[in-house]
Amino acid sequence: MTDPDRPDPEGCGSSDGRGSFDPFDWVRELALADLDAGDVSARLLLAFDDPATAPEVQLIARSESPHDGSSPLSEMACAITARPPRRAVWVLPGRLRDLEDEGAAPLGRCLVVTCLDRCTGGWQLYARTIPFHPDGDGLLLAAASDIEVELSPVASLMDDAARLVTGHDLHRTLAVLTLWGHTVAARRSMEDGVLGATLPVPTGSDRHRVRRIAAELEARHTPAAAASSTRRRPAVPTAIPDGWSPACPL
Amino acid sequence: MPALRFDDPCATARDEATPRLARGLELRPTLLGFERDEPTLYVRSAPPWVGTTRDSIAASLVMLPRMLGIKRVLVVSESRVTDPSIDDPVARDAQAERGVLVARAEQHGDERPVMSGQLLTWQRAGSHEVVWDPPIELDDGGPWDPVLTHAFSSADGNGPGRNGRGRSGTSEGGPGGSRSSRSRSGGSVRGAGEPGSVVYGLSRLGVVVAVAPGWRERYGLDRPVDPRGVRREDRRRAQAYRSAFRPTTVEAAS
C-alpha cells in the first residue's frame, strides 16, 4: 500500500503524543483499500482488552435506507454500549462543507476518523480528517489533520455510548446488528476466546432492547443528519483534566 | 495533564493550551474554579460555529462560578497580541501574533476581586512542539476584567459581594470551611435553578463542564435535573436518573 502520491501518514504522528497509539494505524489499510475500490463505508473498530494494539471486532455499516427508524451509525453505537471498549476507532466517509455557508455545495470529500481511547479515570476522544479525491483512485489530497472533536458527526454519539453501559450481551448485540444488515468481523484470536465463532441467534427481546437503545441514541445525536443539526448535539466532554468527571448527568 | 495550580497561572495555562495548540486547534475560552488551592470546576465554552458571541461566551463561563460561590478562578483564552509601538494600524495588524491570555481573579470577603493577568506568546517548533516565551505581566485581567468583576458581584447591582451568597449545595462549608453558611438570598442567581439543570442547559449549548472528584455532591450537581427544562429526547434518561438517585436526594427526604 505504498504510493508516492499519498502523503505519508506517519508524518502526522500520534495525534496527542499519548503513547505510540495512532488510530490511523488501524484504519490505513482498510481505508485505502476502500478508496481504491471507490466505495467508502463506515467502519467501527473495537478493541476490548489491554494492550489494545489491534482491533478485535470490526463492524461495517449497512447501507442507509429511507425507511430507517434510526441511522446505521446509531445502531453501530449499540456495540459500544454493550461492552465499553478499551479503544475504538470509527471511520466515516464525510463531505467537507463551509461552516459559514451551509447551503453551498460540498467542497470535497473526506474520511473522518474519530477515536476513543480509554485511560485512567475516563477517556479521551479525538478526531482527524483526511480529504480524498472524489473521483476515487484512492488519491489522498492532503495529510491527516486534527479537527475539533465536535466537528465529527459521531463524537458525541461515541462519548454517550461509552458512558451508557447497558450491560446487554455483546454477542447478542452483534447478532442483532448482523440481522439488520451490518457486517461483523472478528479477529481469529477473538474467535477462540471471547467472541464465539458463531453468534447466537438473537431473540425478539434482544432485537427490542437494541432497537430501543439505537432509537434513543438517534434522537439525542442524529449522527447522519445535516451539518446544521450539529447545534442540537450535546457537548462532548473530552480533554477535561485527568480523573475529573463531566458534570452533566444526562 | 499535570496539576492545575491557582498560584501558578502560567504553568496551568501552558498545560491547558499546549496539547491543543500543538495539534493545530484553537484554544477555546476555559474557566478553572478553585476552592482554596484545590481545582474543582472546569468550564470550556462552546465551539464557535454554534453561534457564540462574546457575551454568550462570557455568560456561559461565569454562570456556574456565580451560582456555586467560587471565589478563585483562572480564565485561559486565546488573544491577539499586537505591538503598540507600531503606528500604522495595518502593519500592526499584520504583525499581530497569537497568544494565550490567562486572567486570575480572587475575592476575599466582600471586597472587590483582585485581578491579574499574564500574556503568553508561543512559537511552533517542529510539527508537534510548542515553545513558550517568557510571560508578559498585565495590570489586570485584560478583556476578562469586566466579566470577572460581574462574576464576583452580587445580583442586586451593588457591586461585588454585598449580599451573602450561600452555596446551594447540600453540604455547606466544604473542606476548607472558608465559606460560612450565610443566607441563601442569592437574588436572581439563586433563582436561576438547580446547578444540575444549569449544567444540563449549558451542555445542550455545547459548553463542557467538569468537576473534580468528590465535588459533584458538594456542589449539588448530583441532584436530578428539573424535568420541565429537559428536551423530549432526553426525558427518558432524565427520568431514569431521577429514579436511580431518588433515595439520596434532599428533595425526597424532606
State the total domains in chain A: 1
Q: How many degrees, rounded to 5, is the angle at CA B173 between CA B171 and CA B174?
A: 75
Contact in structure between B133 and B123 (CB atoms under 8 Å): yes
| Grid coordinates of A214 | 439505537
Kindly state whether residue A237 falls inside one of the protein's structural domains.
no
Give the CA diameter of chain B: 67
Query: Do the chains contact at B203 and A250, CB–CB below 8 Å?
Result: yes
Contact in structure between B141 and B117 (CB atoms under 8 Å): yes
A190 CA: distance to closest CA in chain B (Å) = 33
Contact in structure between B132 and B139 (CB atoms under 8 Å): no
Instruction: Give the relative orientation of helices A155-163 and A204-221 as an angle to the nearest 10 degrees.
Output: 130
Comparing CB atoms, the residue among B25, B216, B224 nearest residue A245 is B216
From B194, B189, B203, select the one nearest B231 (Cα to Cα). Answer: B203
Kindly state whether residue A167 falls inside one of the protein's structural domains.
yes
A221 CA: distance to closest CA in chain B (Å) = 9
Q: Which residues of A fall within a CB distance of 8 Å from B237?
A: 216, 250
Strand stretches in chain B, DSSP E: 30-35, 38-44, 72-81, 97-106, 114-124, 130-132, 136-138, 208-211
Kindly state whether residue A169 falls inside one of the protein's structural domains.
yes
Kindly state whether residue A235 falls inside one of the protein's structural domains.
no
Give the tens place of pLDDT for each residue, B98-153.
899 999 999 888 788 899 999 999 888 877 788 998 998 988 878 888 888 888 88
Region of residue B155 (left: phi > 0; alpha: psi -120 to 50; beta: else):
alpha
Give the tens place of pLDDT for each residue, A143-177.
778 889 988 989 999 999 998 888 788 889 999 99
B98 CA: distance to closest CA in chain A (Å) = 18
Q: Is B26 on the interface with A (CB under 8 A)?
A: yes
For residue A149, what are the domain limits? 9-225
Query: Do the chains contact at B47 and A246, CB–CB below 8 Å?
Result: no
The helix/strand/coil state of A96 is strand
B19 CA: distance to closest CA in chain A (Å) = 6
pLDDT at position B184 over 80: no
Using CA atoms, how far apart are residues A72 and B120, in angstroms rounded to an integer?
46
Kindly state whether residue A2 falls inside one of the protein's structural domains.
no
Using CA atoms, how far apart are residues A50 and A43, in angstroms rounded to an integer?
21
Which of B5, B204, B232 should be substituted to probe chain A, the one whose Cβ sees the most A Cβ atoms within 10 Å? B204
Assembly ipTM: 0.82
Give the tens place of pLDDT for each residue, A91-115.
998 888 887 777 778 777 888 999 9
Q: Which residues of A fall within a CB distance of 8 Å from B208?
A: 235-238, 240, 246
From A150, A153, A161, A125, select the one nearest A240 (Cα to Cα). Answer: A125
Sign of CA dihedral B120, B126, B129, B131: negative
Comparing CB atoms, the residue among B19, B209, B224 nearest residue A248 is B209
Burial of A160 (C-beta count, 10 Å sphere; 0-12/13-18/19+): buried
